[in-house]
Amino acid sequence: MTDGRSTPAGRRRLVLFGPPGSGKGTQAQLLGAQTGQHHLATGDILRAERAQGTALGARVGGYMDRGELVPDEVIISVMAAHLQGLERRGFVFDGFPRTVAQAEALDSMLAAIRRPLQAVVVLEVPAEVLERRLLGRAEVEGRSDDTPETVRTRMRIYQESTAAVLAYYSARLPVVRIDGDRPVALVHRAVLQAVGISMPDPG
Ligand code: ADP
């Protein structure tokens, strides 16, 4: 078992895992910008499909607006298409996998290109903080799935599926838990440290 510390930062292969509102999108983006790892966010990919009015976008819209998971076979085929080119790059998955079926599918897709995952980073944030953040974000960004009812559904689904996904990974990979209830820059440093990427002192 290797956590990839000997792999150059830009080529490391990670999953960033955490509840809705935990800041995994922000952290995955910061990490990708810092290291050159490719940042793949399923929520962003699906929202772009909807914005472009594609058939896929139409298919997933209802699930997203209700805060439910898009069916595994749909999300797995979307991600299969986005894995092209990852043979040569490191990556951070954000929002995927969310179920054991997705984790298994990802493992076999990555095994086929000989680029297995190296670590999973989990952002932990108390439920009441998440709720406050998501409802605050709704006012600023106007995301159609940040209403109180959808937020509750997304949190419930996360809680229902998390344990199984983390158990799946804990048996296979280093799973590093980080306190996400801190300022963005501090969480970023903790993420870098967790995956063994050194960063210059802010000075
Ligand atoms: P959040 O994690 O804050 O709920 P995302 O932007 O990651 O937001 O996802 C938004 C929505 O996109 C989810 O509520 C779900 O409907 C859909 N989605 C994203 N990733 C997945 C996935 N791996 N499996 C199923 N549905 C997904």
pLDDT by residue (tens digit) across 109-167? 999 999 999 999 999 999 999 988 888 877 777 677 778 888 889 999 999 998 899 99
Asked whether 18 lines ligand 1 (CB < 6 A), one says no
User: Residue 29 — left, alpha, or beta (φ > 0 → left; ψ -120 to 50 → alpha)?
Assistant: alpha
Assign residue 67 a region: left if phi > 0, alpha if psi is -120 to 50, beta otherwise?
left
Which of the listed CATH numbers 3.40.50.300, 3.90.79.10, 3.40.50.2000, 1.10.260.40 matches domain 11-194? 3.40.50.300
Asked if 24 is an active-site residue, the reply is yes
* pLDDT 10s digits, 75-104: 999 999 998 878 888 999 999 999 999 999
Q: Is 152 a catalytic residue?
A: no
Please write the tens of the pLDDT for every residue from 26-61: 999 999 999 999 999 999 999 999 999 999 999 999
Spell out the domain ranges in the chain.
Answer: 11-194
**Residue 182, class by beta-carbon neighbours within 10 Å (0-12 exposed, 13-18 middle, 19+ buried)?**
middle
- Tell whether ligand 1 has an atom less than 6 A from the beta carbon of residue 67: yes
Listed in sequence order, the residues at least 6 apart from 180 whose beta carbon sits closer than 8 Å to its beta carbon are 18, 22, 23, 27, 123, 124, 125, 187
From the list 14, 17, 18, the residue with the least C-alpha distance to 37 is 14
